[in-house]
Amino acid sequence: MISFEMPKPLVQTRRVVETVAENMMRPISREMDENEHEIPWAYIQFMHTATKAMGSSSMVAEDPPKEKKEDPKKKKYPPINYQRLMVMVEMLSWGDAGIYLCTPGGMLGAAAVGAAGTPEQKKLFLSRFQGKEPVFDAMAMTEPEAGSDTSAIRTTAVLDEKTNEWILNGEKIFVTAGNKALIDSKGFIVVWASLDLKAGRAGIRSFVIEADTPGCKVTKMEEKLGIRASDTVSVVMQDCRVPFENLLGSPTIEKSTKGYKSAMQTFDATRPIVAASALGVARAALEFVLEKLNEEEITIRYGLPRQKMTNLEREIIDMETQLRAAWLLTVKALWMADNKKSNALIASMSKVKAGKVATNITQKAVEVMGPLGYSREYLLEKWFRDAKINDIFEGTGQINLLVVARNILGYRGSQLR
Amino acid sequence: MYSFTPTEEQQMLLDAVRRYAEQDLRPAARDADEKSEFPPGLIEKGWELGILQASIPEEFDGFGDYSALTGVLAAEIMAYGDLSSAFAVMTPNLFALPIFFSGSEDQKKEYLPAVIAAEWKPYTAAMIEPSFNFDPGELSTTAVLKGDSYLISGEKTYVPFAQEAEMILVYANLDGETQGFIISRDTKGVSIGERQKTLGIHACPLYPITLDKVKIPLNQRLNGAEGHDQKSILASYQVALSAMAVGVAQAAFEYARDYAKEREVFGVKVAQKQAIAFMIAEMGTEIEAIRLLAWEAAWMLDEGKEEAGRHAYLAYNGAIDMVMMVTDQAVQILGGHGYIREHPVEMWMRNGRGFAAFTGLAMV
C-alpha cells in the first residue's frame, strides 16, 4: 500500500539530529566559514560520542513499540538504514553543510567498503569508527586529468608478488575530508586505480590506503566557494605499498567491466544521500525567507490561481513545490535502496533534481531577500555558496543527467557519450 | 513507513484501466479530436470499469470505499490514454463526489445511487467562469438568499455535457463563499449556449451556461441551508488534475523517447545526441517528481492530514509547468514531424496547455 508516512523511528531521529544542528552547528556556522580549514572539533567529538553510545552505525536505536512486546509473532521492522541516513544528512546539512562533511565515522570511503568489500574487509576497515577517537574516511577518485570520466584515471596499482603488496602510483585531487582521514585521524581513503591501463574500465579497482602509509602524502588543501569547514585535498601516491587484502573486490581482470560497474554501484546509494544534503541547505534557505516574510507580516496565500498571485508568492510556492518534489524522489530512491530494488535511474534523478533545486532555491532566496540576502550578517549568502557543490560533486548535474538518459534509453556509454 | 507499491486490489483496477487506455482510448483519440466527437460506446466502456462506483460505499449502491489515492492512480492512466475521454468518463465525478464529500444525507440518498447505479449518464458541474480572472475561491456568479430560496445569476463556461445533462452542480458566490447548488437543466433561467471550441480536448463537449435569477429551494444547496466547506472539493480538483497532467506528459514522453530511438540523424539515432538525450532525461525526471507529489497529496487527503490542501495545491502548481514543458519538448524532439497532426504529440501539447484553466473539470 502506497504510504508517505515517515517511519516512526526516523521521526525520533529527526528530532534528535535537529537539536544537534541547532545547537552545535548553526552557532558556529559563520565562524567556520570565515576561518577556512578550521576543524569543528566540538561537533566532531559530540557526534563521535553520540554515535558510539547508540551502538552500530545509527544515532538512534530502534525501540520496539512497547505494546507489541508480548506479541510472539512480532513483525520484523523493514530495513530503513538508508532512509535514516537521509534524515540525518538532510538535517545536518540544514544545520551546516560544511560542518556536516566533517562528521566522523563512515562517509563515502566507508560506503565503498560497505558496497564492494568482503565481510572480513568490512570488519578490518570499518571497526575503527567505534574506537576511542573520532576517525574519518574519504573517497579518492578524481584526478587532474580525470573528473567525471573516471575511466580515464591514470593512477596505477601493481602487484609485488614477492611481498603480496599492491604498489600504487598517481595523484588524486578533490578528496573530500582527505586531510581528516589521513592526517587528523587514523582513518583511510579509498583510492581508485588501474590494474592495467590498457584494460580501460575493466582494469579499475578500488584500494584502501590507511593513514600513515608510507608513500601517500596530502599535498594541497583547496580554498573553495563554500563548504569551507570541510577540507578538500590533493593526495599523491609514490610507490605507496598496501597489503593485498586492501583491494576491494576481485583482483582478476575479466573482459567484462563487472568490477568497475560494482564500484559505480556505490553511487546508487550515495547520490541520493548527496541529494539529501542539497535538500537540507535548500530548506534552510527557504525557511529563512519565510521567517523574514513573517516578521514583515507578509503571508503567502496558497490556493490562488496564478493570475492573482504576487510575484513573491509565485516564487515561494515554486520553491516549495520543487523542494518537495526533489525530496520525494530522494525518499523513493533510498526506500528502493533499503528494499534492495534496483534504483540506478531514480538515484540519479534525485541527484539531478536536488542539485538543481538547491542551487535555484538558494540563488532565488538571496535575490528575493535583497540586501539581507547578500549580507554576511545572515547565513543566506553562505547557503547560496554551500548549495552549489551539490550540483558538482558525486557527479555533476550533467553527468547525472547522462546517467538518467542512458537508463531511460537503455543505452550503454558507447551509444550515448 | 514509506511504500510506493499499490495494493493488489488497486493494481487489478489499474491493469484494467491500462488495458482500456491503451486498447480503446489511444487508438480512438486522434479521430475523436478531429471530429470533436467520441466513437459510440467508448465513454460507456470506461464507465463500466467502475472507478467511481468503487469509491462510493454500499449504502449508496456503490461497492467500495473512497480513496483519493486510488482515484489519482486511475486518473493518470486514463489521461495517459486520452485526456478528452478521461474527462468525459469522469464527468459524473464532478457531480457525485461533492455530494459524497459534503452533501446532506438526503442528498446522498437521492443522487448517489442515481449517478452510479446505471450506465454512464451526464451528471455534471459548472465551476469555471469566462474571465481571465476566474478564481474558484471568489466566483462572479452569485447566489442570493431570498425568502425560502436562492437566486443564482451569472455566466459559466466549460461545462461538460451540459446540453444533455441530467443534473448540474452549479457553484456560486454566496456571501463571499463558494457554494454548490444542485440544479436541473430544465429549471427556468438556465440557458445553455453553443458548444465551445477550445485549443485542445476537442472531443469533450463543453458548453457555456447563463444563469438568470435561477430560483433554487434551500434544500438544493449542497448540504442544505447549512452549506459546506469548499476545501475538499478544491483539493480533489487539484490532485485529479495533477495526476492527469502526469498521464498526458507520460504519453508524450514515451512517444518522443521511442521516436528518438528510431529516427536516424548524422549516422546515429536522434536519442544518441546529448542535446536530445538530456531533454528526455529531464522530462522523465520531472514526470516522476510530480507524480510523487500528486500521490503524496492524495495520500494526505485520505489520511486527513492537515497540510493535505496545501500539498494538493503544490502538486497542481508543479503539474501545470511540468506538463507544458514535457509536451512542448516532445513536439520539439520530433521536430517538423511533431508539428504534423499525423503524430499525436501536437495534440498532447494542446491538451497540456489547458491544465492551468481546468480547475473544475476533473475530480477523484
Tell the residue number behind the cell numbers 547565513, with chain if given.
A379
Confidence band (pLDDT; 50, 70, 90) for A246? very high
Does A283 have pLDDT greater than 70?
A: yes
* A 70-129: CB under 8 A from B: 78, 83
Tell me the pLDDT tens digit for each residue of A74-124: 567 789 989 999 999 999 999 999 999 999 987 788 888 887 888 899 889
Tell me the pLDDT tens digit for each residue of B183-233: 999 999 999 999 999 999 999 999 999 999 999 999 999 999 999 999 999
Residue A270, pLDDT score: 84
Least confident of A73-87, A128-142, A186-200, A270-284: A73-87
Chain B positions touching A7 (Cβ under 8 A) are 1-2
Q: Do B257 and A2 touch (CB under 8 A)?
A: no
Does A54 have pLDDT greater than 90?
A: no
Contact B47, B119 (CB under 8 A): yes
Q: Does the annotation count A70 as an active-site position?
A: no
C-alpha–C-alpha distance, residues A404 and A408, integer Å: 6
* B 108-147: CB under 8 A from A: 132-137
Residue type, B355: F
Residue A116, pLDDT score: 81
Q: What is the pLDDT along chain B (364 residues), one digit of tens a residue?
A: 999 999 999 999 999 999 999 999 999 999 999 999 999 999 999 999 999 999 999 999 999 999 999 999 999 999 999 999 999 999 999 999 999 999 999 999 999 999 997 789 999 999 999 999 999 999 999 999 999 999 999 999 999 999 999 899 999 999 999 999 999 999 999 999 999 999 999 999 999 999 999 999 999 999 999 999 999 999 999 999 999 999 999 999 999 999 999 999 999 999 999 999 999 999 999 999 999 999 999 999 999 999 999 999 999 999 999 999 999 999 999 999 999 999 999 999 999 999 999 999 999 9
Chain B positions touching A308 (Cβ under 8 A) are 133, 135
Average pLDDT across chain A, whole number: 90
Q: Do B1 and A328 touch (CB under 8 A)?
A: no
The DSSP code sequence of A142-184 is -BTTBSS-GGG---EEEEETTTTEEEEEEEEEEEETHHIIIII
* A 283-312: CB under 8 A from B: 302-308
What's the half-sphere exposure (Cβ side, CA atoms, 13 Å) at B361? Answer: 28
Whole-model pTM over 0.95: no
Residue A148, pLDDT score: 76
- Distance (Å) from the alpha carbon of A405 to chain B's nearest alpha carbon: 5
Contact B341, B23 (CB under 8 A): no
The grid coordinates of residue A98 equal 560544511
Phi-psi region of A300 (alpha: psi -120 to 50; beta: other; left: phi over 0): beta
The DSSP code sequence of B318-335 is HHHHHHHHHHHHHHHHHT
Chain B positions touching A78 (Cβ under 8 A) are 1
B358 vs A228, A305, B198, B237, CA distance in Å? 48, 11, 12, 9
Residue of B220, B234, B255, B250 lying closest to B315 (CA atoms) = B234
The two beta strands, B177-184 and B167-174, are antiparallel
